[in-house]
Amino acid sequence: MTKKGRVFSGARPTGRQHLGNYLGAIQNYVALQEDYDCVYCIVDVHALTTVETTQELRQNTVEMALDWLAAGIRPEDSILFVQSHIPQVLELHAYLSMVTQFGKLTDLPTFKEKVRQQPENVNYGLLGYPVLMTADIVLYKTDIVPVGIDQAPHLEFAREIVRSFNYRYNTKVLIEPQVKHTEIKKVVGLDGKDKMSKSLNNHIELAATPEETTARVREMVTDPARMRRTDPGNPDVCNVYTMHKIFSSPEEVDMVNVECRRAGIGCVDCKKLLAANLNTHLQPFRARRAEFASKPEYITEVLNDGARRARVIAEKTMEEVREAIQLP
């Protein structure tokens, strides 16, 4: 079947993925494979801008690849690889940095935010992050980048860099990527307040055991106004109910909605039901993950093969880029 174009997306090697990653991004990655040539990159170089130690970088990369594959990324269709395995991206980053104005980079809200977050480590790579991101995208002649509405300005900046490059060297070799607006679901963590994240420890790992998952669900914050079992609750302000809407049957969702409001079901039972449904939903994923994890050489092969295929596209683009710049 003819595909509609090439999609690129990258994510930092954050190790084992959680439900928030799954519902927010991975599910979408899997679905896009039906219509697009997909290039999915584990962006380890980007990670260096913020990590203090690289001890876990390799293991985190493997864990993430395992989760992506178990979730349904098909390496025979899509290209799955590690950013640093393709040094051409660093070369392109250097050339793109020559057409990117310093003041524009320092003005970016994301850069200012990082300066606030890590004032002790405002490194050069942090400033050049959007340029490296642009290099990632355009190196693979990407047509489309799936982004949530809040990330759209980043892509607009990438498009600007491409226009500057093409204008400076009077060429059309680099393609301006188009945005594919995607509804990136914000999954709230166990605290019922913040976005699910590993650093806040309010997450549920996809690869957790059923027992661990049940224990984590038990920790979930519910309707804070429901103090006693006999108090009626309000599912509309409860994250357990939000999760039921994703993982439980319509009948169960209706039941929780009705029974919670009249104190017909307690939070303990409500959570037990959610944990059971979550474990049922994740069971096939976990079985696939365990199978892949038992063959570490398979992951190495997938990433090496992905890098080999990515390198072919990258080197072709770089030949055109060097020619356009008229490098001697």
Binding region for ligand SF4 (CB under 6 A): 222-223, 226, 233, 235, 238, 240-241, 256, 260, 265, 267, 270-271
The residue written with tokens 């990438």 in the block is: 158
State in angstroms the smallest separation of the CB of 210 from ligand SF4: 19
In a 10 Å sphere around its CB, with 0-12 CB exposed, 13-18 middle and 19+ buried, how is residue 107 labelled? exposed
Q: Which two tokens stand for residue 208?
A: 């957790």
State in angstroms the smallest separation of the CB of 79 from ligand SF4: 42
State in angstroms the smallest separation of the CB of 282 from ligand SF4: 20
State in angstroms the smallest separation of the CB of 273 from ligand SF4: 9
Which is nearer to ligand SF4, 193 or 308 (by Cβ)? 193
State in angstroms the smallest separation of the CB of 226 from ligand SF4: 5
In a 10 Å sphere around its CB, with 0-12 CB exposed, 13-18 middle and 19+ buried, how is residue 91 labelled? middle
> φ, ψ for residue 149 (rounded to 5)?
-60, -35
Q: Which two tokens stand for residue 217?
A: 């669900």
State in angstroms the smallest separation of the CB of 219 from ligand SF4: 12
Which is nearer to ligand SF4, 35 or 259 (by Cβ)? 259
CA distances from 318 to 43, 142, 206, 216 (A): 19, 14, 38, 48
State in angstroms the smallest separation of the CB of 268 from ligand SF4: 8
State in angstroms the smallest separation of the CB of 269 from ligand SF4: 8
Helix, strand, coil % (nearest 5) of the chain? 60, 10, 35
Which is nearer to ligand SF4, 259 or 320 (by Cβ)? 259
Do residues 217 and 278 touch, judged by C-beta distance below 8 A?
A: yes
Do residues 58 and 242 touch, judged by C-beta distance below 8 A?
A: no
- 10 Å Cβ neighbour count for 316? 13
Torsion of CA 199, 129, 148, 88, to 10 degrees: -110
Which is nearer to ligand SF4, 33 or 234 (by Cβ)? 234
Which is nearer to ligand SF4, 173 or 270 (by Cβ)? 270
Give the end-to-end CA distance of the chain in Å, rounded to a whole number.
41
d(CA 325, CA 328): 9
State in angstroms the smallest separation of the CB of 233 from ligand SF4: 3
d(CA 161, CA 304): 30
d(CA 257, CA 238): 11
Which is nearer to ligand SF4, 134 or 239 (by Cβ)? 239
Q: Which two tokens stand for residue 56?
A: 């876990």
Which is nearer to ligand SF4, 56 or 219 (by Cβ)? 219
Which is nearer to ligand SF4, 236 or 315 (by Cβ)? 236
Structure letter (DSSP) for residue 146: E
Which is nearer to ligand SF4, 32 or 238 (by Cβ)? 238
